[in-house]
């Protein structure tokens, strides 16, 4: 996922971009766990929904729960 933040200090504006990088082997691993072993996979994260959905789409996971507190996970 990607998170963009803007910081304003006086008349100066700063733009920050943060993003998660998915390792190359993860989509294939997810595919194998789902198809070969019949696992149902979930992403549980404290990240924003849009970021969690972006990562989930990249790796092939459809069950996504975002904006969770540590207690919710």
Q: What is the pLDDT of residues 20-66, one digit of tens each?
A: 788 999 999 999 999 999 999 999 999 889 888 989 999 999 999 99
pTM for this predicted structure: 0.71
Helix axes 26-35, 49-59, angle to 10 degrees: 70
Is residue 55 within 8 Å of 27, Cβ to Cβ? Answer: no
Q: How far is CA 36 from the centre of its chain?
A: 24
DSSP at 46 = S
At 1 the pLDDT is 54
């Amino acid at each position: 996922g990607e998170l963009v933040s803007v910081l304003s200090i006086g008349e100066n504006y700063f733009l920050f971009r943060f993003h998660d990088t998915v390792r190359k082997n993860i989509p294939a691993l997810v595919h194998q766990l789902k198809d070969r072993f019949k696992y149902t996979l979930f992403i549980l994260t404290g990240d924003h929904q849009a970021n969690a959905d972006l990562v989930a789409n990249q790796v092939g996971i459809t069950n996504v729960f975002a904006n969770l507190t540590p207690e919710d996970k």
